[in-house]
Amino acid sequence: MKSKFYFIIAILLSFFLIGLNSCRKWNDPCLCSPVEINRPGLIIRSADLSALSEVQSHSNQFYDLGGSSKSPLEILTSKGLNTVRLRLWHNPSSGNSGFEDVKQQAQFLKSQGMKIWLSVHYSDSWADPGQQVIPTAWQGLSYSVLRDSIFQYTNKIMREINPYIIQIGNEINTGFLHPHGNLQQNESQFLDLLATAESSIKAINPETKIVLHYAGIQGATWFFDKVKYLNYDYIGLSYYPWWHGKRLTELDSTITLLGENFNKQILIAETAYPFTLDWNDQTNNIVGDSTQLILPDYPATKNGQFNFMNDLKNKLFGNIYAKGISYWGGEMIAFDGPQSSSGSPWENCALFDFNNKALPAINYLH
């Protein structure tokens, strides 16, 4: 009788140790409590560098904090960058961010030790809450053919690029692939298209992490309740104060609410902040007015940008549901020269000043 008792205890103990060990692997998608699977610091330390190849094609020189000439990738990697986010458009007119361009970038970045976070727009150009235009090649297809096209296209992405993280759509607050995948008009089809892409991803690489990406924090609980039965890994949020609210405490509480309600960890998929309101080319900037800032805490100065990113990082560091952060457009200097009217709309939000020298805000990667 005693030997049977010890045998049962040994079996129970072995199951406990196996479960504990699996939760200790930070990349294990097991549904353990977030306290157990999180680790101090942000594991995914990322920057979206989708424009880097175009920027570097103009022979721009970059400099680190000490003034030494280095590539943007070298500079950011030295501060802790471990993941690069790239957007993928289906058939863009210029070829930039198209399949072959992104595939080539991803291969190079992997050779430099980077993990790839792929933002698949499922569109020929920008996809966001205001526009989710179906690729030209897929327009006019029946729903069943469109569904198969998505499966095959996603399958090709996985076979030839094989990212570490993949987003199904970009900022899909209103759905994607309109009108078929319009969340408010065709909810069941929206969910079916997401599930189709998910199954294509997992069929090639079950270890790839899937992100569902929502812009902002208002309405996020409603959205992620809609997709709660889908097989994905991370909640991705965009957070730009001029669009999504100026209280970091609200962002923090939203992350906690989402994590608790849906048992997911959270990535800040996009964020940025200006270091000036000035321009360095003749292209209209997206951020250019003091009303877009969080004042008086974070003015549009080098210190203001640093303090915003540092405080944001610390908020995420202290939240057990936060997994990582990605800065958007850090490389988007006025790459086409000071007279260009088709250059960068983002140079005052980049991580490099108007002399292409790294700004203190790059320390968000620490």
pLDDT at 247: 96
Q: What is the mean pLDDT of residues 263-268?
A: 97
Chain mean pLDDT for the chain: 91
Q: What is the mean pLDDT of residues 67-75?
A: 97
pLDDT at 257: 98
d(CA 342, CA 283): 6
Task: Spell out the alpha helix ranges (H) of the chain.
Answer: 2-24, 34-37, 52-56, 72-78, 99-111, 143-160, 187-204, 220-226, 241-244, 248-262, 302-317
pLDDT at 78: 97
Cβ neighbours of 132 (radius 10 Å): 25
Least confident of 8-12, 65-69, 248-252, 336-340: 8-12
268 three-class SS = strand
The set of residues, in sequence order, having a beta carbon less than 8 Å from that of 332 and lying 6+ positions away, is: 51, 55, 344, 345, 346, 347, 349, 350
DSSP-derived secondary structure letter, 67:
S
* Cα–Cα separations (whole angstroms), residue 236 to 141, 169, 176, 213, 333: 30, 11, 15, 4, 25
Question: Which tens digit of pLDDT belongs to each residue from 19-65?
Answer: 434 333 333 333 333 333 444 457 999 999 999 999 999 999 999 99
- The structure's pTM equals 0.89
- Reported confidence tier of residue 319, pLDDT bands at 50, 70, 90: very high
Backbone angles phi and psi of 116, in degrees to 5: -105, 125
- Reported confidence tier of residue 290, pLDDT bands at 50, 70, 90: very high
Q: Considering only CA atoms, which of 248, 288, 290 is closest in space to residue 268?
A: 248
Cis peptide before 296 (omega within 30 of 0): yes
Tell me which residue has tokens 């991705």.
236
Question: Which tens digit of pLDDT belongs to each residue from 90-129?
Answer: 999 988 999 999 999 999 999 999 999 999 999 999 999 9
pLDDT at 170: 98
Q: What is the 3-state secondary structure (H, E, C) of 142-153?
A: CHHHHHHHHHHH
Q: Which helix (H) or strand (E) holds 212?
A: strand 209-215
143-160 and 187-204 helices cross at what angle (nearest 10)?
A: 30
- Reported confidence tier of residue 3, pLDDT bands at 50, 70, 90: very low
Residues of 262-292 as b/e, b for ≥16 C-beta within 10 angstroms?
Answer: bebbbbbbbbbbbbbbebbbebebbbeeeeb
DSSP-derived secondary structure letter, 139:
T
Q: Considering only CA atoms, which of 76, 97, 129, 30 is closest in space to residue 326?
A: 76
pLDDT at 23: 36
Structure tokens at 214: 């929502």
Question: Which tens digit of pLDDT belongs to each residue from 173-224?
Answer: 999 999 999 999 999 999 999 999 999 999 999 999 999 999 999 999 999 9
Q: Considering only CA atoms, which of 217, 151, 233, 223 is closest in space to residue 187?
A: 223
pLDDT at 41: 57
Question: Which tens digit of pLDDT belongs to each residue from 129-141?
Answer: 999 999 999 999 9
pLDDT at 287: 98
